[in-house]
Amino acid sequence: MTPKYIFVTGGVVSSLGKGIISASIGKLLQARGFKVTIQKFDPYINIDPGTLNPYEHGECYVTVDGMETDLDLGHYERFTDIQTTRHNSVTTGRIYKTVIDRERHGDYLGKTIQVVPHITDEIKRRMLREEQTLDFVITEVGGTIGDIESAPFMEAIRQLRWQLGRNAVCVHLTYVPYLKAADELKTKPTQHSVKELQSMGIQPDILVLRTERHLDDSLRMKVASFCNVDLECVVQSEDLPSIYEVPVNMQRQGLDAAILRKIGIPIGETPAMKPWHDFLDKQHRATREVHVALVGKYDLQDAYKSIRESLNLAGIYCGVKVKAHFVGSEDITPDNVEEKLSGMAGAIICPGFGQRGTEGKITAIQHTRTHNIPTFGICLGMQMMVIEFARHVLGHTDANSTEMTPDTQHPVIDLMEEQKTITGMGGTMRLGAYPCQLREGSKTHTIYGKSSIQERHRHRYEFNNRYLTDFEQHGMQCVGTNPDSHLVEVVELPDHPWFIGTQFHPEYASTVLHPHPLFMDFIKACASCSH
């Protein structure tokens, strides 16, 4: 079967939730038995988000094959349980780099290289997936209609719409603002957004209207009339208590049915989506609050998006409502750490890069370790656990990572020897899924329920195995190692209520229907401590 293509674009303003709508469409089509994939095309010129500050673009998500991507791929995976790859994330930078490299190689035989057709052809090539096993390819285009950066992507979609005929559908997401002074919802921004899209040669098939207030049928009819869209294809996306209610809301309004109708596929019965509804029931029943500190340096919700969602999902399955509180590690000192962590049932020591805020993380870890507060260190957080233990238990007061202090006498965290001759950002990083062997009888082994696991990485520095014996003799057990390189992946304190650090990022693997076991067990420990 030739895949069908769904293009998701946005207008009026950014941050309307195209990623959530794309993920919801994917979930609804999956529920009907179709095999889907979702991909993100971003207009910025960076090759990938790997070097972007989280304040610029939120968290950097990592696929199993080691691609640093936009955080929307996290939504795709959490909603659909699909494992995305480097093919699911494309930027303008990657497009231009490919075309320029080909030009330098002589592949274009001396022709003048232009946005049309060379850039648009490369965009189309990447939009069209060759996997014959796929029924639907959902393509979300970042940015807002009218942006200069988005123009080549819109032209590529225009061409593909003609090329694919009924095998392609355009879903356009817009905003319907409410003006309090006039006590009115205004459709004019949507009309202008659709007009802008039409000026590029694209007629949207379906409109999804983001709104903070319910839209009545007369307003939807007005939008349908002015935008040349069937009334049944004007769907509203109201603010909801949880993003996980969006697929159900979209199904209730027939978004998936409208897509199938446009493409010419029999609609059939509406799937029950029982596991998803069971999850929502658990979410509604979870009322007792458990407070967890996110000890990090980026005071931005999207900076730790996957961690926040993993905590949220684990809490729901544990019957509690997790309240994550950002605690700026730069502001933590030995004098105020107790106050900063007051009322917290547990602490996540967040990942990151660079020296800023690391001493505050170490101070927080010393407090949680000595006060038996459940503590989960992720990536750099695990490394800070190692450094804190080396300083305050092993007695190496100057212990550090060579990332922070290159000339430290006790580099308990260091580059591997073969990494030290490599230059260039990203060249020394471990990215993507790597195997890990867990020690039988360890707490982490019990949590996973198996010895061999695979988890995703995004880091450069490693536990220094020269210190391994010393750590284990003093109580910190290195219970997870890479079977090939013998690098330490997991550390834990067996005599602590919950004290585990992972060099990998388990948050990338947590989904709505399959929450990650480490987060589940961590929240259980936090819930027990908060009674």
Q: Which residues of 31-69 are buried (b: 16+ CB within 10 A; e: fewer)?
A: bbebebbbbbbbbbebebbbebebeebbbbbbbbebbbb
Does 486 qualify as catalytic in the annotation? no
HSE value, Cβ hemisphere, 13 Å, CA-based, for 248: 16
Q: How far is Cα 487 from Cα 481, in angstroms, rounded to an integer? A: 5
Helix (H, G, I), strand (E, B) or coil at 185: strand
| Rounded-to-10 torsion of CA 300, 301, 303, 308 | 150
- For residue 526, give the nearest of 504, 497, 503, 500 by alpha carbon: 497
The catalytic residue among 60, 170, 318, 379 is 379
Q: Give the whole-angstrom CA distance, residue 194 versus residue 257.
A: 22
- Cis status of the peptide bond prior to 515, with omega within 30 of 0: no
Give the count of alpha carbons within 13 A of 374, CB side only. Answer: 23
**Residue 350 known to be catalytic:** no
DSSP letter at 432?
Answer: E
Half-sphere exposure of 433 (CA within 13 A, CB side): 14
Q: Would residue 379 show up in a list of annotated catalytic residues for this protein?
A: yes
Burial class (CB within 10 angstroms; exposed 0-12, middle 13-18, buried 19+) of 109? exposed
Question: Cα 185 to chain center, whole Å?
Answer: 32
- Across the beta sheet with 462-463, the strand order is 400-401, 411-414, 462-463
Distance CA 94, CA 127 (A): 13
Catalytic: which of 59, 77, 155, 507?
A: 507
Residue at token pair 């070097």: 51
Give the per-residue SS3 of 107-161.
CCCCCCCCHHHHHHHHHHHHHCCCCCCCCEEEEEECCCCCCHHHHHHHHHHHHHH
For residue 173, give the H/E element and its range: strand 168-175
Residue ranges of alpha helices (H) inside 344-499 are 358-370, 380-392, 443-448, 468-473
Distance CA 192, CA 255 (A): 23
Per the document, the length of the chain is 531
Give the catalytic positions in this structure: 379, 505, 507
